[in-house]
Structure 1
Amino acid sequence: MPGGGNIVNWLWTQLKDNNSQKTKTHWIDYWSKKAGKNKIQIWRPKDKAMRENVANYADYRFWSSTHSLTKNRHINYQIIQGTSGFNPNYCSRMVWQSFYHGSGNKNVIQTSTAGLTYIFPGALVNTFTSKYRPYKVGTY
C-alpha cells in the first residue's frame, strides 16, 4: 500500500482503494528513489513452500478473491491499532497478517505479537519465531 498524500489521512481518515500490486523490480526502484539510498531491505524466510502459501494468501486477501489479475479487493489505507481486521489496513500490518494467517498450521509468527498495537516495518522481522526468522536478501 503506497499510502501517500497528507499524513493526517493515514491516522484519522482513510486513503480509499489504496492497495496495489507491483513487480519486485518496480517496487524496489520506486521506493529506493523515494526513500533515499540504502533504505529498502528485503527479507525472506527460508521455507519456499511456506512463502508460496503466504503469497497466495496475500493475493487472495488483499488483491483478488479469485486469484485473477483483476483487482476485486479494495483496501483503504489507514494506520490503525491492533492486528485484526483487514480493511482499513497498512503495509507492514498486511505483511504480518499474511504470514500469521497464510502460513497454515506452521508456527511462523509469534502468537504473542497478535496483541501488538502497531506493526512497525523495521520491527516486522522480530515477530517471526526463531525457526522461520527471515534472512536478509539485501538493501536497496
Structure 2
Amino acid sequence: MKAGDVFITNSTSSSGILGHAAIAASKAHILDAPGTKCRPKNDNNRMSTLKKWTNQYGNGWIAVYRMKNHPNLSYGAGHYAYTHFYSTNADIDNKNIHLTYGINVHLYEKSPTYCSKLVYQAFYFGTGSYNVVGVQHGYLSPYSIPATFNLNYALYKIKEY
C-alpha cells in the first residue's frame, strides 16, 4: 500500500447508494468517512490499518487503484487527505479534524463529506496545479471515482481482494 492508493468496495450501502471508497493516507493507514452506522455524524472521518479496513469490508470485493506514472502526485493526494481530513500535523495519535457526514452535491466544500467526496477532494486539492481529476458536479459515487481522473493521470487497478 502506498499513500494515494484508492480503495473501492461493493460491500456496503448508505442512503441507498451502493459501495464505499477510501484513500491510503500513508503506507500504513487508510482514511475514510464510513457513514453513521460506523461513526458519529459529527466525527465521521477515521483512520484504519489495511488489515482492519479489509476485514470490515471483506464480505464483498475490494479493488485497489493507483496512478502508476505519477507517484509524487499520489503521495501528495494521500498526504493532503491526512493533513486536511484527519490531523493537521499528520499524527495518527493526534486527530484534530472532525468532519461531519452528509451526502450532498457540493463537491468542493470540505464539510459535510462522504466517502467518495473525500477521495475526490484529496486528488483535486492535493495535487497542486496538475489537472489530475476533472471538474465534477453533483453527487459522486464510489464506483465513478476512476472515471474522474484525466487520461494522463489514469488510475489502474493493482489488486483485488
TM-score, normalising length from structure 2? 0.73
**Pairs within 5 Å for 1:30-41:** 30-33=56-59, 36=60, 38=61, 40-41=62-63
The separation in 2 between residues aligned to 1:130 and 1:106, in whole angstroms, is: 12
* Residue type at the aligned position of 1:44: R
Between Structure 1 and Structure 2, the one with more helix by share is 1
Structure 2: 5+ residue stretches without partners: 1-32
- Name the CA shift for 1:124/1:98 in 2 (closer, same or farther; >3 Å): same
SS across alignment from 1:43: strand
- Residue 11 of structure 1 is matched in structure 2 by none
The separation in 2 between residues aligned to 1:68 and 1:4, in whole angstroms, is: 24
Q: Hey, which bits of structure 1, 4+ residues long, moved more than 3 A?
A: none
- Residue 102 of structure 1 is matched in structure 2 by 126
Alignment of 1:117 onto 2:129: no
**Pairs within 5 Å for 1:83-102:** 83-102=107-126
Deviation of residue 76 (structure 1)?
A: 1.1
Structure 1: 5+ residue stretches without partners: 7-13
1:91-111 C-alpha deviation (Å, 9 max, x unpaired): 100000000000112110113
**Pairs within 5 Å for 1:8-23:** 15-23=41-49
1:1-37 C-alpha deviation (Å, 9 max, x unpaired): 111439xxxxxxx81201100122221221123xx3x
How many residue pairs are counted as aligned between the two chains? Answer: 126
Aligned Cα root-mean-square deviation (Å): 1.6
Higher relative contact order, chain-length normalized (CA < 8 Å, sep 6+): 1
Larger radius of gyration: 1
Between Structure 1 and Structure 2, the one with more strand by share is 2
The separation in 1 between residues aligned to 2:34 and 2:126, in whole angstroms, is: 22
The separation in 1 between residues aligned to 2:36 and 2:58, in whole angstroms, is: 15
TM-score, normalising length from structure 1? 0.84
